Amino acid sequence: MHDTTAKILLVSSSGGVLLDLLALDVWWSRYSVAWAVVPATDTCSALAGQRVYSVRETSMRQPLSVLPSFVQAWRILRSERPSLIVSAGSGPAIAFFVLARLRGIPTFWVSTLNILTTPGISASICARFASRVLLQHASLREAHPEGFVIGELY
């Protein structure tokens, strides 16, 4: 069954973050889905046939790189009007999570499989703005006491 009333926006860079979100396809494939992703070989091939917006890679190591991503995120949110935003906390997700909080859009942040104890800066920011924090490892409970341990996705 495909629920076209609920719109989910998945935000990702390439690599492990993308794999984490793809592992949730049993869940998100039931809804109307759009992706906001950094263009890369894996994102292009894995998301062929999906509704995809290209977003720029950002890093908190270069804080000014985040500013233009807010304009991009605002345009995508205005166009898609998602019911929920989900990401595994990569740099591009920061603008989406901040703007979602301002607009009252729920957000889920999923901890990436390769992080066992100390999340990075982008992940920490996204988790702070997230409506729900979903952890793949119980070892992250100390860093995210509000998180729900869901176990490994793949």
Examine the pLDDT at 69 and tell me if it is beyond 80: yes
Asked whether the beta carbons of 83 and 8 are under 8 A apart, the reply is yes
Mean pLDDT value across the chain: 87
pLDDT in tens, 107-130: 999 987 665 556 677 778 888 999
- Report the pLDDT value the prediction gives residue 149, as an integer from 0 to 100: 86
Return the pLDDT at 41: 92
Residue 59 has pLDDT above 70, yes or no: no
Confidence of residue 3 (pLDDT cuts 50, 70, 90): low
pLDDT band of residue 132 (cuts 50, 70, 90) is very high
**52 versus 139: which is more confidently predicted?**
52
Confidence of residue 81 (pLDDT cuts 50, 70, 90): very high
Range scoring the smallest mean pLDDT among 32-46, 81-95, 113-127 = 113-127
Rounded Cα gap, residues 26 and 143, in angstroms: 28
CATH class of the structural domain 3-149: alpha beta
| Residue 122: per-residue pLDDT | 79
What torsion do the CA atoms of 73, 47, 104, 30 make, to the nearest 10 degrees? 160
Enumerate the domain spans of the chain. 3-149
